[in-house]
Chains A and B, each alone.
Chain A
Amino acid sequence: MTALLELSEVNVAIGTTALLDRISLRVDKGQILGLVGESGSGKSLTATAAMGLLPLIGGRVTAGTVRFDGQDLAAMTDRQRRALRGRRIGFVSQNPMTALDPVQRIGEQVDVVSRLHLGLSRQAARTRTLDLLTQLRIPEAAAVAESWPHQLSGGMKQRIVIAMALAGDPDLIIADEPTTALDVTVQAQIIQILGALVRDRGLALLLITHDMGVVAQVCDRVTVLYAGRVAEEGPVGPIFAAPAHPYTAALIGCIPQEGMEKGALKGIPGTVPSALAFPSGCRFGPRCARADAACQQVPQLRSRGQGLVACHHAEDGA
């Protein structure tokens, strides 16, 4: 079976700076893939590459292929790629506060997507918009459609952004940290809504997040990125039960648990290295407790259980 979205060994550079190194991932229909990593690990850049929007930020794919539904994005014309965005790939951006045009009514902003991609008339598009808003559990959809972005709360705006992503009836949704800018209480609702969409509509969802808690809650598989490389990949259950990569383990250690002692919540010391000064060998080495001489060599991805891991010490952790 061909994957809906498949990146194989993709390298991405902006100017002369190499940012992504052999990134591979796949998302199938009806599946939620979590793409995890700290800020600066290359999550959003991977999403940008998946949508074929790299040229906008001055980036390009220097090796590897991005395929959507079997078609190579690089072989498409600009027009074909644009037809894909919105129609087959919906995008939910990080900050709903700024993702809506402040001088257009909510309804018009959602309408325009289905008018453009599905060729609906004004009335048909509005009917569809109201349907979508109702499905996203927005009370008084008709009134909300007539309101302006500044009149809505953050959680409400994020639902509108999701409605815009759904309006073109896409097969894949890419959600770039959809809950980061929201209150904790609203975060759970948005994640639930996204999860329900995948179940009810058979969509595929690429969920970008830095929160392992969110991954545990809804994802089927997870790809962990660190400093532009895949650290570990696999089904959520086994990875949470026994993370093979020390970085994955550290991320899981950052989830607050019930009954934790004060101060017991662990962070990860240090920061993600800048792309201008990636360490040689294993890029996580400088921050890793288990690093030794072997980590001067670049670790290759090798299979472990149902997934893959790139760590010289994966076995001793397992």
Chain B
Amino acid sequence: MTMPAPIRALRRPTGAIAAGWLLAVIFAALFAPLLTPYAYDVQNLPQAYQPASSAHWLGTDEFGRDLLTRLIYGARTSLSVSATAIAISVACGMTLGAAAAWFGGWLDRVVTMVVDMTWSFPEILIALILVAIIGPGTTGTMIAISVAYLAQFTRLTRAQIMTLKGETFVEAARSLGATNGHILFRHLLPNALAPVLVSAMLATGDAIILEATLGFFGLGAQPPTPSWGGMMSAGSALVFKAPWIIIFPGLAVAITVIAINLYGDALIAALDVRAKVRRTA
């Protein structure tokens, strides 16, 4: 028996190391209150600007809050916002793309036109405009990120379904009396899923950066709720006084995004859908 692809991806050393880091971050985010004796929002001004020590492993920030604690709670915000945004984006994108490919006609023309138009703007611009309209905060960031990546998943799903529609097994199912719904949900979408999921995995990395960017501009989670971008923003004024305040959240973003990309690469190799992703993305 062959193992499922996400497990096979661990056979590559880079895949295994990346998965280890991601699991550690997710674990830390889930069990944050159990892992640290400090609260993320209680100020302790006499302890401000402490460098790393045995009491504060990563030091403290300008309000004397433990940096590691805030980093772990920040992971909660950053990961949940990015992952939820991408999940919403994949669900909506697959629905739109599948509908466009399946029904064709004016629906396909409208969807393709809108997708092509948004495709020509950078994601950050779309996200900034949307946050400006919706207003800052986690919900606003989440919606903005999911809309920013919508075009990518719509396009990919549409292209997949278009190709699959002409496959013999679809004709065969039809000649055995299968209904449209059965063909779409049992044959087309499951076959389109693998490349979309790999693309979603990689997009989650981009979404973390986008979330951090919005947070850096003060548009993400509002204080005192920590987010990696927000922490970097606070630390940017103190680069020379207390460099650890900006360095550690920056490292957290960088290492997490690299880990997602490495694991994504290992997953692609395990699934062997690289050709498909390249052709249609």
Residues of A at the B interface (CB closer than 8 Å) are: 51, 53, 56, 82-87, 90-91, 93-95, 98-104, 112-113, 116-117, 161, 164-165, 168
Is the pair B174, A56 in contact by a Cβ cutoff of 8 Å? yes
Complexed CA–CA distance, A53 and B176 (Å)? 11
Is the pair A87, B177 in contact by a Cβ cutoff of 8 Å? yes
Determine if B4 is an interface residue (Cβ-Cβ < 8 Å): no
Which of B172, B179, B187, B191 contacts A82 (CB under 8 A)? B179
Which of B172, B186, B191 contacts A93 (CB under 8 A)? B172
Number of residue pairs A-B, CB distance < 8 angstroms:
64
In the complex formed, the residue of B with least CB distance to A96 is B168
Complexed CA–CA distance, A90 and B173 (Å)? 11
Most chain B CB neighbours (cut-off 10 Å) among A56, A99, A117: A99
CB-CB < 8 A to B177: which residues of A? 82-87, 113, 116-117, 168
CB-CB < 8 A to A95: which residues of B? 168
In the complex formed, the residue of B with least CB distance to A85 is B177
CB-CB < 8 A to A51: which residues of B? 175
Is the pair B190, A86 in contact by a Cβ cutoff of 8 Å? no
User: Taking A101-B187, A102-B191 as contacts, is the C-beta distance between A164 and B172 under 8 angstroms?
Assistant: yes
Which of A53, A100, A104, A116 contacts B174 (CB under 8 A)? A53
Complexed CA–CA distance, A207 and B116 (Å)? 47
CB-CB < 8 A to A87: which residues of B? 177
CB distance from B5 to the nearest CB of A (A): 12
User: Taking A101-B191, A102-B191 as contacts, is the C-beta distance between A91 and B175 under 8 angstroms?
Assistant: yes
Which of A56, A91, A102 contacts B176 (CB under 8 A)? A91
CB-CB < 8 A to B172: which residues of A? 91, 93, 99-100, 161, 164
Offer 16 A-B interface pairs, CB within 8 angstroms, sorted by A: A51-B175, A53-B175, A56-B174, A82-B179, A85-B174, A86-B176, A86-B178, A91-B176, A98-B169, A99-B169, A99-B172, A101-B186, A101-B191, A104-B187, A104-B190, A113-B177
Complexed CA–CA distance, A44 and B173 (Å)? 17
User: Taking A101-B187, A104-B186, A112-B186 as contacts, is the C-beta distance between A86 and B167 under 8 angstroms?
Assistant: no
Q: Which 4 A-B pairs have the closest CB atoms?
A: A86-B177, A86-B176, A91-B175, A98-B168
In the complex formed, the residue of A with least CB distance to B176 is A86
Mask of B185-198 contacts with A, CB within 8 angstroms, 1/0:
01100110100000
In the complex formed, the residue of B with least CB distance to A113 is B176
Q: A53-B175, A113-B177 provided; 18 other pairs, C-beta below 8 A?
A: A56-B174, A82-B177, A82-B179, A84-B177, A85-B177, A91-B176, A94-B168, A95-B168, A98-B169, A100-B172, A101-B169, A103-B193, A112-B178, A112-B182, A113-B176, A116-B178, A164-B172, A168-B177
Is the pair A165, B176 in contact by a Cβ cutoff of 8 Å? yes
In the complex formed, the residue of B with least CB distance to A98 is B168
CB distance from B194 to the nearest CB of A (A): 8
CB-CB < 8 A to A99: which residues of B? 168-169, 172
CB-CB < 8 A to B186: which residues of A? 101, 104, 112
Is the pair A100, B176 in contact by a Cβ cutoff of 8 Å? no
Is the pair B168, A86 in contact by a Cβ cutoff of 8 Å? no
